[in-house]
Amino acid sequence: MTDAEGFTAGSMSAANADVFATALDRQAEMDLIRDLREWCRSRLGLRPGATAVDVGCGTGAELLELARLVQPGGRAIGVDANQPMLAIARHRSSGIPGVEVVAGEASELGRLESGSVDAIVCERVVQHLTYDPVRAFREFARVLAPAGVLAVTDTDWSSARLVVRGDEAATEYLRELREKLPVRPLANQLAGLKLEEYCVAAGLEVVARRTGTLGNLAAALLQGARDGILALAAAHLTPGERDEAARTLNAVLDDGRLELTVDLYAVLARRPLAHS
């Protein structure tokens, strides 16, 4: 996640990596994240001796699950572009047979030979790519063995919705507030919606799909959403509108009624036996 034209996560300090890792650990306990990971993992067809790759492995949590499936005799390779995250993944996977954690980026898996990988997982990485994501999917297709499987999961940030539990009027107010503000999107905020398109463009055959809505996000993320909205409000709204926005957001955040929901998509695709 440090490549100049790679992930917007960019250069991450060790301190920021620790905070990010804590957030990822919390997310891993969320029902939807756990269910989507298990759904993908159960369809990879991994057996002892196979080779699996986790692109954007983060803390290495899913990498360890892949390692369990390919042992004995297999390889579970974690790839990440952020050096501090690599250090965390290496520490957590130390001593686990068959695990490798390497620096790399989604569109440049050059250390992996063509057709050498049985399965790839890639979770919530595509949304951060600042180049054409098809480049990464073509690289996935290159390294996959014939009939190898890609399991890719990502977010549709256009579906994000701020909800105030038990207060439809406040929820509607926040919806109207967001519509007034020029919210800057992620590099690829529609990633979840476009996963199948990217697979097909790379010559992969989509074989299964699943969707779900993620809620109960961490307080820090909700605070970040509030701060971002208020920063935009300061630049684009009248003083009276800014004050009303601050009062509403602070009140519903302080009493724990603010929720942010967003849709996630998981897609399974297979490299055809005859791949050009």
- The residue extents of the domains of the chain are 14-157+185-215+262-270
Q: Looking at residue 11, what is its pLDDT? A: 55
In what helix (H) or strand (E) does residue 260 lie, and over which residues does it extend? strand 258-270
Higher-confidence residue of 158 and 92: namely 92
- Tokens 């983060």 found at: 58
CB 233 within 8 A of CB 245: yes
Q: Looking at residue 5, what is its pLDDT? A: 32
Q: Looking at residue 9, what is its pLDDT? A: 45
Mean pLDDT of 235-255: 93
Identity at 11, one-letter amino acid code: S
Mean pLDDT of 51-71: 97
Pairing of strands 258-270, 117-123: unpaired
Token output for 18? 């620790």
- Tokens 């047979």 found at: 97
185 pLDDT tier (thresholds 50, 70, 90): low
Q: What angle do CA 47, 200, 145 make, to 5 degrees?
A: 30
Note the pLDDT tens digit of each residue in 84-97: 999 999 999 999 99
Mean pLDDT of the chain: 89
Percent of the chain at pLDDT exceeding 70: 91
Q: In residues, how long is the chain?
A: 276
Higher-confidence residue of 135 and 158: namely 135
Inter-CA distances, 100 with 13, 29, 93, Å: 22, 24, 8
Q: Looking at residue 6, what is its pLDDT? A: 35
200: which residues sit within 8 A by CB, 6+ positions away? 206
Token output for 190? 């529609």
Distance, in Å, from the CA atom of 155 to the CA atom of 30, rounded to the nearest integer, reads 15
7 pLDDT tier (thresholds 50, 70, 90): very low
232 pLDDT tier (thresholds 50, 70, 90): confident
Token output for 57? 């492995």
Inter-CA distances, 102 with 30, 63, 76, 84, 195, Å: 27, 12, 11, 12, 25
Give the Cβ contact number of residue 195 at 10 Å.
26
Report yes or no on whether pTM surpasses 0.95: no
Distance, in Å, from the CA atom of 9 to the CA atom of 12, rounded to the nearest integer, reads 7
Note the pLDDT tens digit of each residue in 216-229: 776 767 887 888 88
Class of domain 14-157+185-215+262-270: alpha beta
Mean pLDDT of 263-275: 92
Q: Looking at residue 8, what is its pLDDT? A: 39
E strand spans, 32-143: 51-55, 75-80, 99-103, 117-123
